[in-house]
Amino acid sequence: MSVHRAGDSNDFLFEGSFDITELSSWPQTLNDEVKAALDAGQKIGGVNARISGSAVVLGGTCEENAFSIGASAFLDYVSIDLVTFSDAWMPFDLRGCSQPAVHERNAPRLSAALRDLSEVLDTETDPDDPTYFGKPTETGVENYFEEDGSASDVWGSFEIPYRNRVFRHEPRFTPGYKRSADGVVQYVPVRGWHGVLGYLWASDAENAASFEPRDDADEDGYKDGLAWLDRLGNAYDRGLSPSHALAELAGLSEGDSPDLLDLASLREKASGTH
């Protein structure tokens, strides 16, 4: 929840989060806690609140943070929005794979929720702008489709490249190895329970080292890659060269030699296009 100072939407009189499962009579308790935190005499310009929750996907599993409901109040204008982070309501998943059983069982639930909100609030449902992942409608969410009529793989086209930027661009003002290099690099595969998660690589010539997750490894490769970035950061802080960091972190013995490949080709390899 956030409470903005009148006249300045960037100045917060209060900003905080609460676990409503730990609050008895939570609406009144929440109201009291927010009021107590406000400075006396300050005028409120607007209030924003959002609650997130899990959803049991029929025919699937329980998805954490599958949706959120937000409310905003400014002067006499009040808005309510429902945001979903699940593709269970769509005919095709974000990979473009058909899911008729999941869609048939879950889409009516989202439609009913939107209808009920509209009735309770006595207002029409106003779909927001399309996102990379789908197109909101008054009754749910629609997929994107290619020119040949097949459902788009928006996950591979947008989400994976977006989140994988962390492995290719070093953060500003933070010391560490570069995360990109021209030419040949040393690399070793990193394996998990279900195969190769990605590739740890290094280049002494450019003082660069990073992790390149395999697209097919999806969430496992991404999460494992973040852990490898932390390990590389620790190696940099200890003054190790990229190749020494690679050898130590990969557990290479003195006679082991990493594979060699230019970084562009390694990235193609990780993406499954090489």
More confident residue, 5 or 268: 268
Looking at residue 51, what is its pLDDT? Answer: 87
Q: Give me Rg for the CA atoms of the chain.
A: 24
Question: Is residue 56 very low, low, confident or very high in pLDDT (cuts 50, 70, 90)?
Answer: confident
Q: Average per-residue pLDDT in the chain?
A: 88
The string of DSSP letters for 200-249 reads EEEETTTTEEEEEE-GGGHHHHHHHHHHHHHHHHHHHHTT--HHHHHHHH
In this predicted model, what pLDDT tens digit does every residue of 188-240 receive, in sequence order?
A: 999 988 899 999 999 999 999 999 999 988 889 999 999 999 999 999 999 99
Enter the pTM of the model: 0.74
Q: Measure the N-to-C terminal CA separation of the chain; round to a whole number of Å.
A: 47
- Give domain limits for the chain: 43-152, 170-271
In this predicted model, what pLDDT tens digit does every residue of 81-120 receive, in sequence order?
A: 999 999 999 999 999 999 999 999 999 999 999 999 999 9
Best CA proximity match to 49, nearest among 78, 80, 72: 72
Least confident of 8-22, 141-155, 169-183, 247-261: 8-22
